[in-house]
Structure 1
Amino acid sequence: MSLSDKDRKLRAGGGNKFPIDPAADTVASFASVIADALRRDFGTSPAKVKHIARLTGANARTVQNWLYGRNGPSGAGLVVLMRHSDAVMQAVLELADRYEIQHAAKSEKLRGELRSLITMLLEYLGPE
């Protein structure tokens, strides 16, 4: 099939260009930040892809794309990852500029750890 002279050109020779979409940079940074967080939390073991796939119900290829930063997880997958990974939770809060929530979450985690350490210490010391 050949194109006639009246057919539309596939490429524009010149003229106005589309404005740069600010969301395009956000999508790329989202994928790379989530990939870094996943690698921090799930390590470098070869089984991490299968483990994350089982947690989220996603395909192994999809999880590999998340880990390489090619794509980011969808909303449902992201929520599951946030449930199981502190690094992903912190990364999402940082991307949303919600530092006060991140600080509160860290404080609550530290309080819980301190409470358990005090309980262990009291059990170790025994009654006096």
Structure 2
Amino acid sequence: MSPPKKDRKLQPIPVNSCPGQSNEIGGAEFTRAIAQALHREFGDTHAAVKTVVSLTKAHERAVKNWFSAKNGPTGRHLVDLVRTSDEVLEAVLRMSGRNDLIVAKKLGDSKQMLLKMLKLIGELQR
């Protein structure tokens, strides 16, 4: 009997994958887009990392890797980021080709801001 192989098994390439499609996004593009969004939303300080750790309950090392684009968030952590960060939400929508939702979100945000400003103007005129 031969000893068991301890090599990694290579994952087969799925039959239905089409590597030539332009709408596919690779891991590097994903991690870079999320890192840029995190930097825009939270800044470049250690406090920014701590803030994201507290928002997502992820390990600090993982969050540092997100900020440096070494790895990207997955699953629950990505949902937590989308819930709390408009920049991350827009990055995910942009990567998924849903620019129409970005426009709709910005219009809704603008409308809310305009209503607040009109209310403030009304209060100042009294």
What TM-score range do you get, normalising by the shorter chain? 0.7 to 0.9
Farther off after superposition, 29-38 or 75-84? 75-84
- What residue is the counterpart of 1:72 in the other structure? 72
Cα distance in 1 between the residues matched to 2:46 and 2:67: 12
Percent identity between the aligned chains? Answer: 36
Distance (Å, rounded) in 1 between the aligned partners of 2:93 and 2:122: 36
Return the alpha-carbon distance in structure 2 between the equivalents of residues 45 and 58 of structure 1.
Answer: 17
2:104 is equivalent to residue 98 of structure 1 = no
Structure 2, unmatched stretches of 5+, are 8-12
TM-score, normalised via structure 1 length? 0.78
Kindly provide the CA deviation profile for residues 41-61 of structure 1, in whole angstroms up to 9, marking residues without a partner as x: 001222111111111010000
Matches within 5 A, 1:108-119: 108-119=108-119
Tell me, in whole angstroms, the C-alpha distance in 2 between the residues paired with 1:81 and 1:42: 11
Which structure 1 segments of 5+ residues have no match? 1-7, 11-17
Q: 2:26 — aligned with what?
A: 26
CA RMSD of aligned residues (A): 2.3
Cα distance in structure 2, aligned partners of 1:63 and 1:109: 28
Give the TM-score of the pair, scaled to structure 2: 0.80
